[in-house]
Structure 1
Amino acid sequence: MTEAHDTTREKLRDGIDHARDKASHAYESARTKANDAVDLSRDKAREAARQTAETIETNPMGVLVGGLALGALIAAVIPRGRREKELLAPVGKRVAASATAAIAAAKAAGKEELDGLGLTRSAAKNQVKSLFDGVVKAASSAGTAATQAGKDAAKTK
């Protein structure tokens, strides 16, 4: 019985050693693959950062417009909370009032400048009428000349 017992014990030790070797190999393999994945991720992140920096340097306005569009999209998708409305409502009203005042000031300044040049609404209307009359007269003259040229060509044949 001791010989059978020893054989069983050897087989058990061999099995344990084999399992330990497999576990150690699996651990090392997983560790190597994880390190490789980390290195690859780090390289990809560096490349993405480099490309982003190049894009920003070569087309800053495009990046700005894209950022604004993305911000607007996010703002449209995410609902505003009660607290946000309370905090931002006065700011929005001030921005709207400032924009309205700026538009009114620009309109008044533009009107003053045009009036100073003598370009009033009635003067502009008269200019457009005069231009239209000239175009109609030119078209009529061209039609008359074409008709006459056709008649002259028919007589010579």
Structure 2
Amino acid sequence: MKAISRCVSGLLLAGLAQTASASELGYDAYIDSPKRIKCMYGYVTAKTGNFGAAKQIFEDCIARWNDVYSMIWLAQMYESGSGVPVDMDKAAALIELGANQSDEASYVSLARYHWGTALAEGRGVKKDRKAARMWLRRASEGGQTEADEYLLRMEQSPN
């Protein structure tokens, strides 16, 4: 019975491979998709190393839906130089944009955490510990426990 099951599975997979093109199976297919789920695929696309497609997906998600998740991940690509030149100014601008979204926006508290840390460390912006504390408190109020930990470290460090 197991042999029959493996044979049927193999035939199904072979049939799928014959009917699906490579572009349908790759993340490039999501670049022009009008479906918002593609914003999540942008993350997976970046994690598999297809940074060009990930950048296009994130940029489209930001343009179409002002998607905070995409702002965060595209900012991280610019911070790390993953598939794009390192650009701390662009990274900071994206994170600030995400942090300034309404409280109801998905991932806004995470963007506020990242914006607070950027301000605290002067990553792409002028260091401003007072503003950093305010943003980290807002992130904490939104459920980001990392913000509490960061605030505690800031209290213990004079710089």
TM bracket (short chain): under 0.3
Higher relative contact order (CA 8 A, sep 6+): 2
TM-score of the superposed pair, with normalisation by structure 2 = 0.24
Rg bigger for which structure?
A: 1
